[in-house]
Amino acid sequence: MNTIPKVITRFAPSPTGNLHIGGARTALFNWLFSKNQKGKFLLRIEDTDVQRSKNEYYEQIISTLKWLEINWDEEPYIQSKNVESHINVANILLKNGHAYKCYCTEKELEEEKKLYLEKKIPYTYSKKCRNILEEVSNKPFVLRFKSKLDGKTTLKDLVQGNVVINNSTIEDFVILRKDNKPTYNLSAAVDDYQMKISHVIRGDDHKINAFKQIQIFESMEWKIPEYAHIPLIHSKEGKKLSKRDDASTVEDYKKIGILPEALRNYLLRLGWSYKDKEIFSEEESIEFFNLKNIGKSPSKLDFDRIKSINEFYIKSTNDEILLEKLIHYSELYKEKIPKQFHEIIKINLSFLKNKSKSLEDIYNNSKYIFSYEVKEDQMQKIEKSKLTIIKHIYSLIKKDKDISKDYLKNIFDKIIETEKINFKDLGQPLRIILTGSEYGPAIYDIASSLGLNEFLNRIELFFSKIDKNIKN
């Protein structure tokens, strides 16, 4: 009985930086496709670049995928552990006449390059060692793949359709370096074969690599996998996304409090569509995902769109879970929310999360509860003439011991009428005094969340500070 599943996909990041947003989408598409086809999704860490690979980035990639709940099958496959196998294949290719030793020195290659540059033709290696028949001893060499010299190759890409190139444009690429280290294209091809990858789904920038890797597959008489190259994600200005962009890595989105399910939904719709549907549950995205609905042109990042999808997910998360997410988020990126405030926040989440587009918004809205401070610059914003009004409000509440919405509304209305002021004239100073910020929830909500004692305490504290300032 054949137990090998038909579809096996892989995500193959290099641990040389934080997980890129485009990488996260590639992982998502691979995962969804394998789930849809009831296949397997494997994770391969391409760590053969020893100089740039770092363990902290490996950990970061793993934790980010877990955060996104993109779960792979089996243990992560570590490419550097398979180097012997890559070298072995390079030597088979040499033995079978599909590769050759190139003895050119760096200097010689530099000179070649210069010559091409002067003639204004794109540089590819001149192939001058391709026909050396005799072994040159004592001279260091690289192994180069003997690419086809003429004819055309067609890549039947599942996203791009037929991509045809002239074989003459594929250079005799290096497969083994002078220090016996395999190169990317060799390692990737060998690993894809050994991992029995059926579908290689990856970024558009790998298209030229596909033509090189296919040649290795052909020479080894291996079954060539299917390829699907996804157009890249561009910045909102339509430029290629670079690491300098402040929204280029998944971490950038975590930091501002985007929920993983919202980011996943956003990434799914970035370059893929299903009818007019915008919101997809996990089950729906698995059920509907296919490769043929992936668009052929680059997608642009749309920050407003991410935020509005995030707002939707915030609204549909129950308060218990939302509170947990907020506590976790604050501890990671802001400050720890002391335990005694968890319940107060939970009770008041309905207004604290109102209009919030991110966990950061909820954090900012609820900060007055657990981390209260009126800074000097905020105090300055309160006009002296308003202090008498606040004192009046304070004494009424202290006497009647009531901060219900009806009561507050009643006394505010009266004051507005007699003093001939607007609501803002008393609302703004009161909000600054109670929360330390002129922006935030409605006064009535703030009052009910603080309770009578805390409400009065904060006003007292404020006036004691002002008195102190006047004395100084």
Q: Distance (Å, rounded) from C-alpha 261 to C-alpha 81?
A: 33
Compare residues 3 and 137 and give the one whose CB is closer to Zn ion.
Answer: 137
Which of 242, 207, 191, 187 minimizes the C-alpha distance to 22?
A: 242
Minimal distance, residue 257 CB to Zn ion, in Å: 54
Residue 66 makes CB contacts below 8 A (sequence gap 6+) with none
First and final C-alpha spacing in the chain: 89
Minimal distance, residue 146 CB to Zn ion, in Å: 12
Q: Distance (Å, rounded) from C-alpha 306 to C-alpha 255?
A: 14
Compare residues 100 and 184 and give the one whose CB is closer to Zn ion.
Answer: 100
Compare residues 112 and 284 and give the one whose CB is closer to Zn ion.
Answer: 112
Compare residues 65 and 104 and give the one whose CB is closer to Zn ion.
Answer: 104
Minimal distance, residue 149 CB to Zn ion, in Å: 16
Which of 357, 283, 346, 282 minimizes the C-alpha distance to 315?
A: 357
Minimal distance, residue 118 CB to Zn ion, in Å: 20
Q: Distance (Å, rounded) from C-alpha 84 to C-alpha 375?
A: 63
Q: Decide: 68 and 28 in contact? Cβ < 8 Å.
A: yes
Compare residues 104 and 301 and give the one whose CB is closer to Zn ion.
Answer: 104
Compare residues 131 and 318 and give the one whose CB is closer to Zn ion.
Answer: 131
Please name the amino acid found at residue 108.
E
Minimal distance, residue 105 CB to Zn ion, in Å: 9
Minimal distance, residue 268 CB to Zn ion, in Å: 47
Q: Distance (Å, rounded) from C-alpha 294 to C-alpha 229?
A: 10
Minimal distance, residue 131 CB to Zn ion, in Å: 10
Compare residues 102 and 359 and give the one whose CB is closer to Zn ion.
Answer: 102
Minimal distance, residue 125 CB to Zn ion, in Å: 7
Helix axes 405-419, 443-471, angle to 10 degrees: 60
Minimal distance, residue 139 CB to Zn ion, in Å: 10
Compare residues 104 and 270 and give the one whose CB is closer to Zn ion.
Answer: 104
For 159, half-sphere exposure in the C-beta direction (CA atoms, 13 angstrom radius) is 24
Compare residues 132 and 332 and give the one whose CB is closer to Zn ion.
Answer: 132
Q: Distance (Å, rounded) from C-alpha 199 to C-alpha 225?
A: 6
List the structure tokens of 390: 């606040």
Residue 51 makes CB contacts below 8 A (sequence gap 6+) with none
Compare residues 63 and 105 and give the one whose CB is closer to Zn ion.
Answer: 105
Beta bridge partners of 101: 143
Compare residues 129 and 214 and give the one whose CB is closer to Zn ion.
Answer: 129
List the structure tokens of 325: 């997410």
Compare residues 109 and 279 and give the one whose CB is closer to Zn ion.
Answer: 109
Q: Are strands 199-203 and 226-230 parallel, antiparallel or unpaired?
A: parallel
Minimal distance, residue 170 CB to Zn ion, in Å: 17
Q: What is the DSSP string of 365-421?
A: HHHHHHS----HHHHTTS-HHHHHHHHHHHHHHHHHT---HHHHHHHHHHHHHHHT-
Minimal distance, residue 181 CB to Zn ion, in Å: 18
Residue 310 makes CB contacts below 8 A (sequence gap 6+) with 257, 258, 259, 262, 263, 357, 358
Q: What is the DSSP string of 23-39?
A: HHHHHHHHHHHHHHTT-
Minimal distance, residue 166 CB to Zn ion, in Å: 22
Q: Which residues bind Zn ion (CB under 5 A)?
A: 102, 104, 129
List the structure tokens of 420: 């001939």
Tokens 């803002």 belong to residue: 424
